[in-house]
């Protein structure tokens, strides 16, 4: 009879404002075809969704994105991408239930759009890392400068990443898991 290890599923959220790369992040990492709830943007979003920084965006997540990563035979990561617009935030409580933490994606051209996600996780004491998604025009800032501008705690990881690249996205997940484990060790 084969020795069976216990399976540890970890739920991770990918959050942030509208058009910061959450769907791209999930898509770049998922070993299965990701479940995406992308819908075409309609005239109803005119004046509601600010698209000037992302003029090529023609779809938006209306519920969630879902992907899976098998780390080994005992660890599976489940990725849940949250919707970015405030009209869909009512779903965040359900998505966050049981999560070990979140990657909060930030577009430095629109830094103000990340504050609701940061506030959400801080208010619920959910570990998170800040993923500075590389968009054109976002260079020239250090992680410490961004940390100060966002007023996040010194122990909260802030890292540059590119949601289009699996290796880059994976590094942010590793940083999140390490951060969550360090918080657990301190609390326990």
pTM: 0.85
CATH number assigned to the domain with residue range 8-36+63-187, chosen from the 4 options 3.30.300.30, 3.40.30.10, 3.40.50.300, 3.30.70.20: 3.40.50.300
- Quick one: pLDDT at residue 116? 94
DSSP for 78-111 reads EEEEPP-SGGGGGGHHHHHTT--EEEEEE-GGGG
Could you read off the pLDDT of 2-11 as tens digits, one per residue? Answer: 556 788 899 9
Return the closest-CA partner of residue 74 out of 3, 174, 7.
Answer: 7
Q: At 18, list the tokens.
A: 């509208």
Could you read off the pLDDT of 91-142 as tens digits, one per residue? Answer: 899 999 999 999 999 999 889 999 999 999 999 999 999 999 988 777 778 8
- Of 79 and 38, the structure prediction assigns the larger pLDDT to 79
Q: DSSP letter for 45, please.
A: G
Mean per-residue pLDDT, 143-162: 94
């Amino acid at each position: 009879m084969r020795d069976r290890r216990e399976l540890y599923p970890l739920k991770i959220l990918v959050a942030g404002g509208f058009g910061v790369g959450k769907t791209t992040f999930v898509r770049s990492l998922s070993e299965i075809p990701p479940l995406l709830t992308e819908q075409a943007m309609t005239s109803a979003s005119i004046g509601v969704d600010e698209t000037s920084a992302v003029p090529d965006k023609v779809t938006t997540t209306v519920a969630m994105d879902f992907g899976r990563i098998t780390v080994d035979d005992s660890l599976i990561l489940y990725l849940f991408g949250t919707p970015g617009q405030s009209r869909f935030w009512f779903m965040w409580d359900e998505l966050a239930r049981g999560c070990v933490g979140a990657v909060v994606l930030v577009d430095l051209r629109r830094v103000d759009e990340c504050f609701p996600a940061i506030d959400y996780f801080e208010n619920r004491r959910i570990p998170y890392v800040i993923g500075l998604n590389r968009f054109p025009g976002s260079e020239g800032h250090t992680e410490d400068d961004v940390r100060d501008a966002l007023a996040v705690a010194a122990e909260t990881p802030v890292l540059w990443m590119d949601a289009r690249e699996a290796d880059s996205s994976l590094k942010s997940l590793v940083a999140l898991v390490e951060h969550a484990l360090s918080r657990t060790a301190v609390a326990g």
